[in-house]
Amino acid sequence: MDTQTKHQSSRGKLFIVATPIGNLQDMTFRAVQTLKDVDVIACEDTRTSRKLLDFYTIETKLMPCHDHNEQYAAKQILDLLEAGKNVALISDAGTPLINDPGYHVVHLLRNKGFDVVTIPGASSPIAALAASGLPTDIFTYLGFLPRKGKLRQAMLSRIADARDTQVFLESPKRILKTLQALQSLDDMGARPCVVGRELTKIYEEFIHGTLDEVVAHFQAHDGRGEMVVMIGAGDIKEADDVMILDALHQAQSQGLSASASAKQVAKDLNVSRSRVYDLIHPKAPEQ
């Protein structure tokens, strides 16, 4: 074994360990054993994590790694790994880094050439999506939406224009306001909507229907617990002649020939090439 290989083998590893999102029994065997075997567990809130560790009789030392100290914690974890110690990273619930701290830690360690091992498990967006009844072959996860301003409006518009299932998180205090903001956009009220709340807990609930129906539910009932909101894709609107002609003008203004413009527009607007050609070269009316 050469010197570099010896150095690599003496270095510790970081384990990204998913924890339950509600039901403490949702830990995997591998996750429990990993938390018992590592030298240190980095966590968001030591009080929250201690409940989980006590449930599984895990006595591993805890260190804080949260939004306010993550860059400092990343350097501490780097020092531990360089000393040959193994560290696990957990969040208060679910998979670390998915709307939880950990990015700076993993980014630093990857750049330094350390091994980062993932121990998969619970994740609220995936758990909710799997039980939603909405298409899952293609979806977009948006995390928490911006609370106000142009960024929020841009994100709402993105959801309205999407052609795949949109998944995001929302708090009970803002759920009705957010759903009503989406409802106010053109043609959104009839879109399929599912909200999952209190996932894996005693009062787990899925509210589903059209967006109008889900808004009506939250107008009549207060929501509790973090919520996963899923919005189904809208219908694809067929391009009309005006849209096609505008697209042709745009393509030709970029220097494309009539033939190349027709081909590009047909592809972009999902219409037949013959239809585009007919607009470029209208047929003479029959005598």
Looking at domain 11-122, its CATH class is: alpha beta
Contact 94, 21 (CB under 8 A): yes
pLDDT (0 to 100) of residue 102: 97
Exposed, middle or buried by CB within 10 Å (0-12, 13-18, 19+), for 108?
middle
Model confidence pLDDT, tens digit, residues 130-178: 999 999 999 999 999 999 999 999 999 999 989 899 999 999 999 999 9
Report residues of the chain scoring pLDDT below 50. Answer: 1-7
Its pTM stands at 0.79
Q: Return the SS3 of 28.
A: coil
- The top-level CATH class assigned to 125-231 is alpha beta
Tokens of 276: 């585009």
Identical fold between 11-122 and 125-231: no
Own/partner contacts of 137-140, CB < 8 Å, gap of 24 or more, are 138/164, 138/165, 139/164, 139/165, 139/166, 139/167, 140/164, 140/165, 140/166, 140/167
Domain ranges of the chain: 11-122, 125-231, 241-280
Q: What is the pLDDT of residue 35?
A: 98
Bridge partners of 258, per DSSP, are none
Would you state the pLDDT for residue 8?
53
- Position 7 scores a pLDDT of 47
